Amino acid sequence: MDQELVQLFPESEETARYVDRLLKVYLKNGNPHYFLIHVEIQGYTDLKFSERMFIYFYRLYDRYRLPMTALAIFTDATTSFHPREFKYSFLNTELIYRYQTYKLMDKVLEELNKMSNPFAIVMEAARITLERSIGNDEAIYDNKFRLIRKLIDQGYERKKIQTILGFIAYYQPFFESKYSRKFEKKVNKMAATKGLLELIKEEMLRQNREEGREEGREEGREEGRKEVIIQLLRSGLHPVEIAQITKISVEELLSIQNEIKPDN
């Protein structure tokens, strides 16, 4: 339903308003009724976040008049930012809009590691990047490979593996390209015995575009970084999160986003 959001939120292309995902879920018991799930991923502090969640709610409800639930996933590195509701009060008129939340910083890595579901693997990958101690390529390499191995060993379907694999590969990039090559070779070797080599090569091709250029050429490195940014944009990550990951300004990132052709 993401295409329909453009009609509901035409200003989102010019402002910071984004609806990350809007899902329409049908019940499995044969009942023709369905409901809406609004999922919002927030990676930075926004004092108007709760108000924005409410605006999304009333516009969607006005359009569809269906049962609806909302989930906000906070992936920022702060512990104090965790809005759970929007309140409005004037004279004798009051309104409270509450929504479900998931605060990544509140989760313990050991607990996420014990869980055996795709969401936990994605959240573990994101949670690791928030650890200040994980600031060198060797640690990044070890954690990426451990998560990839865990993902494959749990036997998920190919499409699900492909999606999560791309997230793990790009959410926290290596500082040096030699670690990217080392990571790819080891994952390919492991996947070859499980029939997933072609799948992993397809996902890692994006990262290879950056690695294949000569490290001594600044132009090549910049072009490679641009390719990675484009793929991150296509993956659905919030522009502000991508800017934080790739260490570029939001303005530069939006400029790259505007260069992407609709049919790419």
| pLDDT for the residue 261 | 55
136's tokens:
């060198």
| pLDDT for the residue 257 | 76
Inter-residue long-range contacts of 250-258, CB under 8 Å, 24+ positions, other chains counted? 253/229, 256/226, 256/229, 256/230, 257/233
User: pLDDT by residue (tens digit) across 63-102?
Assistant: 888 888 999 999 888 888 999 999 999 999 999 999 999 9
199's tokens:
């799948």
Instruction: Round to whole Å and give the CA distance between 148 and 190.
Output: 10
Neighbour-count burial of 59, counting CB atoms closer than 10 A to its CB (0-12 exposed, 13-18 middle, 19+ buried): middle
Computed over every residue of the chain, the mean pLDDT equals 73
How far is the first Cα of the chain from the last one, in angstroms, to the nearest whole number?
A: 20
Q: Which residues of 62-100 are buried (b: 16+ CB within 10 A; e: fewer)?
A: eebeeebebebbbbbbeeebebeebeeeeeeeeeebebe
User: pLDDT by residue (tens digit) across 165-184?
Assistant: 777 777 777 777 788 778 77
Tokens 């309104």 identify what position? Answer: 95
